[in-house]
Structure 1
Amino acid sequence: MSQPVIDPWLYSVALLLGLLIFVKLGFVLGKRYGVKGDANALSGAVFGLLGLLLAFSFSGAAGRFEHRRELITQEANAIGTAYLRIDLLPATQQPPLREAMRRYVQLRLDTYQAMPGSTAAAKAWADSVTSQQQIWTQATTVAQNSGSNAALSLVASALNDMFDITTTRLAATRDHPPAVIDLMLFLLALMSALLAGYGMADGERVPWLQVMVFAVALTVTVFVIRDLEYPRMGLIRVDAADQLLIETLQGMTPTSAHSP
């Protein structure tokens, strides 16, 4: 499972401290060398570039976050359809398949509810892949033995959809901007702080209230962007969407009656 190269909290703390330090550094340099007339124009260009990068980063992260939530809904629907298609198989062969499906859904939940990158997540993923193979073999064998080509086709297509969505979800968890984008955003923020401090050098002291508002606002914005990128680790999470899979699992009771 995907996890950030740098922890979002560590990244944010480093950014906040860096901004404060670079504002002070810019102020000292401005005092030493004097504020030039063209400083505001150059600062405006850098701030504009920073704002553009923040906007694109936020938009991309929010889009990927929504896409991951949609995939959970799609998987819940695919599992529900496959579970209903078991009704097309001989009644005596249905209970083992239903039990295998329940185990499979629990493994899928365990995969994403475990800490990303942990041994537990890796084990749950590997077990779910093994469970896929077992369900496929068991279901197709029963369908073939039933002599119904229609049942075989419907069950096989439903299982294919159920299994394919797992690969799509795995790809979505690994879909992040290149690390160089995070580095560029970090460095550009520090450059902006340096120029901001330099532009304040015509005053007697650093206006720390304004500086703190600037630094905190920028840091929170970057933190939210990174939090959206890794929604299993931070404050903004897709865990609520997992309730769909939980409800699907709860609906798979051994005594439930289903219709295809």
Structure 2
Amino acid sequence: MAFTPATLITSLALFLGMLGLQEAGRRLGKRQLARDAGGGAKAFGTLEGAVFGLMGLLMAFTFSGAAARFDARRQLVAQEANAIGTAYLRLDLLPATAQQALREDFRQYLDARLATFQNPLDSPVSRAGAARALQLQNRIWSKAVTACKSEAPTPPTMLMLPALNEMIDITTTRAMAMNQHPPSVVYLMLGALTLASALLAGYGMAEGKVRSWAHILGFAALFSITIFVILDLEYPRLGLIRVDEADQVLVELRATMN
């Protein structure tokens, strides 16, 4: 899925919609002023404040949540690198006859994990990488269990299995984190409140004899860009804001395995 074009189109549509609704609100306001020059101003101010307050609160929580999830996804990359690195080092605890094959499996496993996330998640390369990583997980686990049973189990040898278990578990955690987003209704409500705010903002500008294009364009641009950033943070593998830099720790770990 090309999420960046979809986000840009959504933000542009929101920007144009806000411009149109500001103009519509301005015309409605002028009609109201023509009928009743002073009436309803206090009530309108209360309504405007409530809508803008609700929109600001929802936007703040949505932005904060998106930023927190973005940071959590970066942290999970580091956690996976640590888990794989620890398990790789603990191969030294296994019998020497089993180490070489397992080290090669680890190299292939890390390559598969990198292929999973360094390509678009819906691409054939990414899906093949995920399937390959799952296959290698089962192979590594089976070989490690067999190696631990080949001799009398010792405390150092048994340290291998918990490290492998953590390495495998982190893949599920990362998969869940990548698919963790607010319900769609939250974004629909945010968009509806933004458009409603534009209508009210235009209504409030009705007293001016000349349109203030700086305020009109600035209002629409500010909120559409903010929503674009929120959406981009939610999909850090598909947009302009990316978590790919965090993958460098996995690349560096792979280099140490050569």
Compute the TM-score of the two structures, normalised by the length of structure 2: 0.92
Kindly provide the CA deviation profile for residues 87-141 of structure 1, in whole angstroms up to 9, marking residues without a partner as x.
1112232111001001001111111111122232222111111110011111111
| 1:187-202 equivalences in 2 (<5 Å) | 187-202=192-207
Which residue of 1 is the match for residue 223 of structure 2? 218
Alignment partner of 2:75 out of 56, 59, 70:
70
Q: Please state if 1:133 is matched with 2:134.
A: no
Does the 8 A contact of 1:83 with 1:101 survive in 2? yes
Cα gap change, 1:179/1:6 in structure 2, threshold over 3 Å: closer, same or farther? farther
The Cα shift of 1:206 comes to: 2.4
Cα gap change, 1:211/1:188 in structure 2, threshold over 3 Å: closer, same or farther? same
SS at match of 1:200: helix
- What amino acid does structure 2 have at the position aligned with 1:51? G
Kindly provide the CA deviation profile for residues 166-202 of structure 1, in whole angstroms up to 9, marking residues without a partner as x.
0000110111100000100001000000000011111
Deviation larger for 154-163 or 226-235: 226-235
- What amino acid does structure 2 have at the position aligned with 1:83? Y
Which residue of 1 is the match for residue 177 of structure 2? 172
The separation in 2 between residues aligned to 1:57 and 1:4, in whole angstroms, is 18
| 1:26-45 equivalences in 2 (<5 Å) | 26-34=25-33, 36-37=40-41, 38-45=43-50
Segments of 5+ residues of structure 2 without an aligned counterpart are: none
Does the 8 A contact of 1:3 with 1:116 survive in 2? no
The Cα shift of 1:4 comes to: 6.3
Q: Which has the higher helix share?
A: 2
Which residue of 2 is the match for residue 244 of structure 1? 249
Does the 8 A contact of 1:3 with 1:230 survive in 2? no
Which residue of 2 is the match for residue 97 of structure 1? 102
- What amino acid does structure 1 have at the position aligned with 2:252? E
Does the 8 A contact of 1:105 with 1:249 survive in 2? yes
Does the 8 A contact of 1:75 with 1:166 survive in 2? yes
Which residue of 2 is the match for residue 8 of structure 1? 7
The Cα shift of 1:3 comes to: 8.7
The Cα shift of 1:5 comes to: 11
Deviation larger for 175-184 or 205-214: 205-214
Deviation larger for 40-49 or 159-168: 40-49
Deviation larger for 144-153 or 97-106: 144-153
Does the 8 A contact of 2:4 with 2:232 survive in 1? no
Segments of 5+ residues of structure 1 without an aligned counterpart are: 254-260
The separation in 2 between residues aligned to 1:107 and 1:231, in whole angstroms, is 20
The separation in 1 between residues aligned to 2:242 and 2:216, in whole angstroms, is 30
The separation in 2 between residues aligned to 1:7 and 1:128, in whole angstroms, is 30
The Cα shift of 1:151 comes to: 4.3
The separation in 1 between residues aligned to 2:218 and 2:4, in whole angstroms, is 28
The separation in 1 between residues aligned to 2:4 and 2:222, in whole angstroms, is 23
Compute the TM-score of the two structures, normalised by the length of structure 1: 0.92
Q: Please state if 1:50 is matched with 2:55.
A: yes
The separation in 1 between residues aligned to 2:144 and 2:92, in whole angstroms, is 11
Identity over aligned pairs, percent: 50
Does the 8 A contact of 1:78 with 1:158 survive in 2? yes
The separation in 2 between residues aligned to 1:173 and 1:74, in whole angstroms, is 15
Does the 8 A contact of 1:3 with 1:117 survive in 2? no
Which residue of 1 is the match for residue 161 of structure 2? 156
The separation in 1 between residues aligned to 2:229 and 2:244, in whole angstroms, is 17
The separation in 2 between residues aligned to 1:121 and 1:188, in whole angstroms, is 37
SS at match of 1:106: helix
